[in-house]
């Protein structure tokens, strides 16, 4: 499909027409979870946002390589440079291998993402599996003169970098302001300047996750893994780098600086950032008592939830806001989303059996809705606008169903594409009630038993044939013998 796709680029601060590095292909790198703790609401938004981006490109005929990393080393929630790794700490407390801890949370995260119907990444690299690449990258930055060693650790030299490049260009921060807003080093630090960040940290003797390097036994700084792994799997110049707004600074700013320091160019064509989720107007956090895991949302087991919300309801709710706007969770908003989703899903069922009238003129309104939906999704993945147009189509579907309006085969084909392809394939919204396969199983079993009954009848074994009919009836399956065979209903 030859459509122009507009994407908002955080780096240029405007929407740009998407032009891939390689025609027909898209490389997307998204910062994945730090696998310490359960997947929560904060994970759902980037999960769904970049999933729709991937699905849209695939729908438009692009070949997509979607890379989302697993951070299993080097990242501490509050300060990437100091202190003890949380995975290592839990491992030590519970006598587990650090990899067991990381694996447990990785599986839980993947399961939550599967429930939200997000496509799995094409590659899901782990930071701990790419230590060699990260050491090589530190060496490159070192050789280029943008890093220094201090007591076995290696730091990125922000001032030296800023003399040649622009530290702060992605986040829009100004270096001098950042310096005056940072507290002075306490004299204990190995860093020359408080803005410098760790590329390699020497491990304390009790630290269990450490690797040999030219500088010390240690571990890589958090920002390093994404520079190393994106280049490894997508090349030194690739299309899209995504992540949450909370990663813009320092994580992505540092990543961009590392790219430029090591290879002279930023390497990313479009930087995308999804906005954050608030809960009843407040930031989500353990200290606010409103920290909700995805499992709690799906089961309703959290004191601020009045009911469980299905994964599709959460997904629909996220799609109702543009990814660059903030999104506020509340029970009212989720219940409204649940209703909206139901209407869309019912229309998707109804559209299959809509009657078509021949000869009538094409419905201009349907054509316009169809065009508007694709224009919206190609305009910086504007899902709320696409959904509002789809609701206009729901109204038309209901009118046709009630006999107040008629459509021809062309109109039906457009509605089919919107409701039977666009909604499940691009928006990723699917009917949850049909999701477990039980309907197909029941249907298959009834057909099989009717087959046995047919054999019994042809053998003139009417006792067996009647027994099957009566037993099925007792289970609520009505059967009717017709000249074309047997019809059954539940
Ligand atoms: Zn990252």
Smallest CA-to-CA distance from 147 within 59, 241, 260, 239 is with 260
Distance (angstroms) between ligand 1 centre and the Cα of 418 equals 34
**What domains sit in the chain, N to C, each tagged with a CATH number?**
6-274 (3.40.50.620), 279-425 (1.10.730), 438-489 (no CATH)
Tell me whether residue 481 is exposed, middle or buried, using C-beta atoms within 10 angstroms of its C-beta: 0 to 12, 13 to 18, 19 or more: exposed
- One digit per residue, pLDDT tens: the chain, 490 residues? 579 999 999 999 999 999 999 999 999 999 999 888 889 999 999 999 999 999 999 999 999 999 999 998 865 443 444 456 777 778 888 888 888 888 999 999 999 999 999 999 999 999 999 999 999 999 999 999 999 999 999 999 999 999 999 999 999 999 988 888 777 666 667 899 999 999 999 998 878 889 999 999 999 998 999 999 999 999 999 999 999 999 999 999 999 999 999 999 999 999 999 999 999 999 887 778 888 999 999 999 999 999 999 999 999 999 999 999 999 999 999 999 999 999 999 999 999 999 998 777 999 999 999 999 999 999 999 999 999 999 999 999 999 999 999 999 999 999 999 999 999 999 999 998 765 566 667 777 888 898 899 899 999 999 998 999 898 888 888 888 877 778 787 7
Sheet holding 277-279, edge to edge: 282-283, 277-279, 327-329
**pTM for this predicted structure:** 0.86
Distance (angstroms) between ligand 1 centre and the Cα of 458 equals 68
Q: 255 to each of 127, 263, 357, how far by Cα in Å?
A: 14, 12, 58
| Rounded Cα gap, residues 247 and 108, in angstroms | 22
Distance (angstroms) between ligand 1 centre and the Cα of 225 equals 7
Smallest CA-to-CA distance from 292 within 40, 33, 36, 39 is with 40
Distance (angstroms) between ligand 1 centre and the Cα of 243 equals 7
What is the predicted pLDDT for the residue at 188? 67
Distance (angstroms) between ligand 1 centre and the Cα of 251 equals 6
Tell me the three state secondary structure of residue 355.
coil
Smallest CA-to-CA distance from 315 within 123, 49, 38 is with 49
- How far is CA 238 from its chain centroid? 19
| Rounded Cα gap, residues 400 and 366, in angstroms | 12
What is the predicted pLDDT for the residue at 103? 93
DSSP state of 18: -
Distance (angstroms) between ligand 1 centre and the Cα of 273 equals 12
What is the predicted pLDDT for the residue at 295? 94
């Amino acid at each position: 499909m030859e459509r122009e796709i507009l994407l908002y680029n955080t780096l240029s601060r405007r929407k740009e027409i998407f032009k891939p590095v390689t025609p027909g292909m898209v490389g997307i790198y998204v910062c994945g979870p730090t696998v310490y703790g359960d997947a929560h609401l904060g994970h759902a938004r980037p999960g769904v946002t970049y999933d729709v981006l991937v699905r849209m490109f695939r729908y438009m005929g692009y070949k997509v390589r979607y890379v989302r990393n697993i951070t299993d080393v080097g990242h501490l929630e509050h300060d990437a440079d100091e202190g003890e790794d949380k995975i290592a700490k839990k491992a030590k407390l519970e006598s587990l291998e650090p990899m067991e801890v990381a694996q447990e949370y990785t599986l839980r995260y993947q399961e939550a993402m599967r429930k939200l119907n997000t496509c799995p990444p094409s590659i899901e690299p782990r930071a701990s599996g790419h230590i060699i690449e990260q050491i090589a990258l530190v060496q490159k930055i070192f050789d280029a003169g943008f890093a220094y060693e201090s007591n076995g650790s290696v730091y990125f030299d922000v001032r030296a970098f800023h003399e040649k490049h622009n530290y702060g260009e992605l986040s829009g921060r100004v270096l001098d302001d950042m310096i005056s807003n940072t507290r002075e080093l306490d004299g204990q630090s190995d860093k020359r300047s408080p803005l410098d960040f760790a590329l390699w940290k020497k491990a304390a003797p009790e630290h269990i996750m450490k690797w040999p390097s030219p500088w010390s036994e240690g571990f890589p700084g958090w920002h390093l893994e994404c520079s190393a792994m994106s280049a490894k799997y997508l090349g030194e110049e690739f299309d899209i780098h995504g992540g949450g707004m909370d990663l813009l600074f320092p994580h992505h700013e540092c990543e961009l600086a590392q790219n430029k320091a090591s290879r002279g160019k930023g390497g990313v064509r479009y930087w995308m950032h999804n906005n954050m989720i608030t809960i009843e107007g407040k930031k989500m956090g353990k200290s606010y008592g409103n920290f909700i895991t995805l499992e709690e949302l799906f089961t309703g087991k959290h004191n601020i939830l009045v009911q469980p919300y299905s994964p599709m309801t959460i997904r629909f709710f996220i799609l109702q806001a543009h990814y660059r706007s903030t999104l506020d969770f509340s029970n009212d908003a989720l219940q409204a989303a649940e209703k909206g989703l139901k209407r869309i899903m019912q229309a998707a069922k109804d559209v299959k059996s809509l009657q078509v009238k021949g000869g009538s003129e094409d419905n201009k309104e349907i054509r316009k809705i169809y065009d508007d939906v694709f224009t919206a999704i190609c305009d910086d993945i504007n899902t709320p606008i696409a959904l509002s147009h789809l609701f206009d189509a729901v109204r038309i579907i209901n009118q046709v169903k009630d006999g107040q309006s008629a459509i021809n085969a062309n109109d039906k084909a457009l509605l089919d594409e919107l409701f039977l392809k666009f909604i499940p394939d691009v928006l990723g919204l699917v009917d949850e009630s049909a999701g477990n396969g039980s309907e197909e199983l029941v249907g298959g079993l009834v057909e099989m038993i009717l087959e046995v009954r047919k054999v019994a009848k042809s053998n003139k074994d009417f006792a067996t044939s009647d027994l099957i009919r009566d037993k099925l009836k007792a289970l609520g399956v009505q059967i009717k013998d017709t000249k074309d065979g047997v019809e059954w209903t539940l």
